[in-house]
Amino acid sequence: LIDIEDIKKIATALKKFVFKAKGRVVFVVQQFIPYENILNEKYRKMRRTEPEKVVEAAEAVAKILPIQVYCRTLEFGTKQV
């Protein structure tokens, strides 16, 4: 769907807003999991994101943003990185 470089760009863009936040700010990288009720057939046929790639993306974000970063997968559950 989106690659790690895209996620890093998003984190970099959000960095300037994090310091202005008045509450708790977290970033969650979540695994894509296809299921039969997805409207777009293209996404129904895609494979789910490898859990290691989700963790890698979350670790990359944690190096950019000074906030709590989590990864969420079926295999590992939700974990802070």
Domain ranges of the chain: 4-11+25-80
pLDDT class for 1, splitting at 50, 70, 90? confident
pTM: 0.90
CA distance 68 to 49: 22
Query: How far lies 6's CA from each of 19, 23, 33, 74, in Å?
Result: 21, 26, 19, 22
Per-residue confidence at 54, pLDDT binned at 50, 70, 90?
A: very high
- Indicate the average pLDDT of the chain: 96
What average pLDDT score do residues 39-44 get?
A: 94
Closest to 4 measured CA to CA, from 60, 51, 48, 50:
60
Q: What is the pLDDT of residue 73?
A: 98
Q: What's the token pair of residue 52?
A: 């290691």
> What are the tens digits of pLDDT across the range 9-28?
999 999 999 989 999 999 99
Residues, the chain: 81
Q: Phi and psi dihedrals of 80, rounded to 5?
A: -80, 140
> How many contiguous H segments (helices) and E segments (strands) does the chain have?
3, 3
